[in-house]
Each structure stands twice: as structure tokens, then as C-alpha cells.
Amino acid sequence: QVLLVESGGGLVQAGGSLRLSCAASGRTFSRYARGWFRQAPGKEREFVAAISGSGGSTLYADSVKGRFTVSRDDAKNTVYLQMNSLKPEDTAVYYCAARDNVALHSNDRRYDSWGQGIQVTVSS
């Protein structure tokens, strides 16, 4: 029921930064928990970061903790993923997701709506 569109991906060198955006539209309540996941070729989709419906709680995968920051702007119905100190192993298609719940979650099966994905490539 929620349409999600990611933007901001691209190609950067190791150590660089990117900021992903995910705009939501469609029939929904004003605030739902949002998450970011990624999938590299031949690998299972993995959790990256999540933010609660209120924006008061965040959760990060150990692999990105201290480098990535998730935030939201409810006036724009948009969630962001600021990615700093990027590494080649961060290369993947990144997906934005939304839950029909205010509580954040790291399990992709708990999310109800998904964006189309956006490529992030980090060169060495």
C-alpha cells in the first residue's frame, strides 16, 4: 500500500560518502517504522539500519555501525541513510522498506512495503 522510491546511489571511491533518500507515498498513516536493507550479487538480503516510527530509536548492523546514520523527515515522508567511510564490501543494491508498525525491526520479513532498490558501488 506504500510506494517507496530510493534515490542518491552511485559510484564512489573507498572512504567516500553517499546519502540515500527514500520517499514514501500512497495510503498510509503518518508514521511507520522504516528500514534499509542491501543485497550483493549471489548473497542473501541483509539488514543495514532501521528507524522507529517516532524517529526516537535506531538500529544498525554491526558492519555499518559508526559509519552509517539513518534519519527521517516526516514532513517530507522521507527517510535517509547517510553512508560515510564507505568500503568496497558495502557494494550492493540498497532497498528501502516500511512496516505497518511503529516499532523498528531487523528482520526483512517484518516489512510490508519495498522500494525498487538502488545501486551503491564502492571502488577500491
Tens digits of residue pLDDT in 30-77: 578 999 999 999 999 999 999 998 888 999 999 999 999 999 998 888
Q: How far apart are CA 117 and CA 92, in angstroms?
A: 10
pLDDT of residue 30: 58
Of the candidates 80, 109, 91, which has an alpha carbon nearest to the alpha carbon of residue 39? 91
CA 107 to the chain's CA centroid: 13
105/59 Cα distance (integer angstroms): 8
Q: Confidence band (pLDDT; 50, 70, 90) for 96?
A: very high
Spatial CA neighbour of 105 closest among 23, 34, 30 = 34
Task: Give the CA angle between residues 47, 105, 85 to the nearest 5°.
Answer: 40
In the predicted model, what is the mean pLDDT of the chain?
94
> How high is the pLDDT of residue 17?
98
- Among 41, 44, 35, residue whose Cα is nearest residue 91: 41
pLDDT at 74: 85
Q: How far apart are CA 66 and CA 50, in angstroms?
A: 14
